[in-house]
Amino acid sequence: MFFTPQDRLFVLTGAGSSAESGLATFRGSGGLWNGHSVEQVATPEAWEADPELVWRFYSMRRRDALAAEPNAAHLALAQIECDLTGADPENFYLCTQNVDDLHERGGSQRVHHMHGSLFQSRCVRCNKPFTDQSFYETAAALPTCATCGSPVRPHIVWFGEIPLDMEGIYRELNRATALLVVGTSGSVYPAAGLVDVANRRGIRTVYVGPEEPLNARSFDEILLGTATAVLPTLA
Ligand code: OAD
Ligand code: ZN
């Protein structure tokens, strides 16, 4: 076993872990949407300027995620969680930057979506997230809050916004014995800085992906290969 039942494992995943389920990564080829970079549709400024464009983007991502299935990497992470949590369910924590629900559908239990969830929306004023699988693709269809009438937005953390529950993330990392990072380019902070927090504590850090991330030098071990090729070998 790559990790032992004595480990308390913190896993960070990025778009690469869903790539083999057919969901495009952000910065690779195909990482554009109708000629728009992700920054042009995933910022508070984009929302202010053109909520219809933003909702069309997230409606398309909902369609893609609904059509996708968990892959062998998602299943392997669920297996690792199962193997490590016999004694204590808190011995495993999966922090994902992904907004799809493939980790949950792959069987993972303790999942935190630091960049929000594709299948939740929230009123810009009431701010309470709710489950939402609808598509909003025309100006006339844009959703409004049943309580206060304000616009409803995707429950997604956009560029310039603060990721969800950073306190919980640091608490988990501060008691982990190992950090496993899968399929993320290491270019978006604070996620990309979690490996530095782990290094300050001297815990083992492992990266899995087909190419080195930008912060490759911060890792103890780099296992080069796709998520579905490598993760099943760690389970
Ligand atoms: P990126 O698109 O920046 O990086 C994807 C990473 O996945 C790259 O390092 C690829 O090498 C790797 N990769 C590609 N195919 C893979 C495979 N089959 N197995 C494993 N790895 C593979 O995506 P993220 O790092 O996740 O934020 O991007 C971080 C954040 O930027 C996202 O959460 C999103 C985006 O803007 C928000 O939406 C707020
Ligand atoms: Zn409201």
- Quick one: CA torsion of 206, 114, 199, 16, rounded to 10 degrees? 30
For a mutational test of ligand 1's pocket, the pick from 18, 23, 27, 208, i.e. the residue with the most ligand atoms closer than 8 A to its C-beta, is 27
Distances (CA, A) of 105 to 94, 172, 200, 225: 14, 23, 34, 23
Residue 113 and residue 99 in contact, taking contact as beta carbons nearer than 8 Å: yes
Using the predicted structure, report yes or no on whether residue 38 has a pLDDT greater than 90: no
Residue nearest to atom 32 of ligand 1 (CA): 97
Bond into 151 cis (ω within 30): no
Half-sphere exposure of 131 (CA within 13 A, CB side): 1
Query: What ligand has the least distance to the C-alpha of 144?
Result: 2
pLDDT recorded at residue 87: 86
Q: Which residues, judged by CB distance below 6 Å to any ligand atom, belong to the binding site of ligand 1?
A: 14-16, 19-20, 25-28, 31, 38, 42, 97, 115, 157-158, 183-185, 187-188, 209-211, 213, 226-227
Residue nearest to atom 35 of ligand 1 (CA): 26
Average of pLDDT values for 109-123? 98
- 112-135 burial, b for 16+ CB within 10 Å, e for fewer? ebbbbbbbbbbbeeeeebeebeee
Residue 211 and residue 222 in contact, taking contact as beta carbons nearer than 8 Å: no
Distances (CA, A) of 117 to 40, 51, 94, 104, 133: 19, 18, 14, 12, 11
Query: What ligand has the least distance to the C-alpha of 147?
Result: 2
pLDDT in tens, 127-142: 999 999 999 999 999 9
- The set of residues, in sequence order, having a beta carbon less than 8 Å from that of 75 and lying 6+ positions away, is 106, 107, 232
Please report which confidence band the pLDDT of residue 12 belongs to, taking 50, 70 and 90 as the band edges.
very high
What is the Cα–Cα distance from 68 to 182, expressed in whole angstroms? 19
In ligand 1, the atom with minimum distance to the C-alpha of 20 is 18
Report the separation in Å between the CA atom of 11 and the middle of ligand 1, taken as the mean of its atom positions: 15
Using the predicted structure, report yes or no on whether residue 193 has a pLDDT greater than 80: yes
Q: In a 10 Å sphere around its CB, with 0-12 CB exposed, 13-18 middle and 19+ buried, how is residue 11 labelled?
A: buried
Active site residue ranges: 115
pLDDT recorded at residue 77: 98
Please report which confidence band the pLDDT of residue 35 belongs to, taking 50, 70 and 90 as the band edges.
confident
Pair of tokens at residue 208 = 């899995």
Judged by DSSP in three states, 182 sits in strand
For a mutational test of ligand 1's pocket, the pick from 13, 26, 103, i.e. the residue with the most ligand atoms closer than 8 A to its C-beta, is 26
- The set of residues, in sequence order, having a beta carbon less than 8 Å from that of 159 and lying 6+ positions away, is 39, 42, 43
Of 24-28, 131-135, 196-200, which range is least confident?
Answer: 24-28
What is the Cα–Cα distance from 196 to 212, expressed in whole angstroms? 16
- pTM of this prediction? 0.97
Q: In a 10 Å sphere around its CB, with 0-12 CB exposed, 13-18 middle and 19+ buried, how is residue 213 labelled?
A: buried
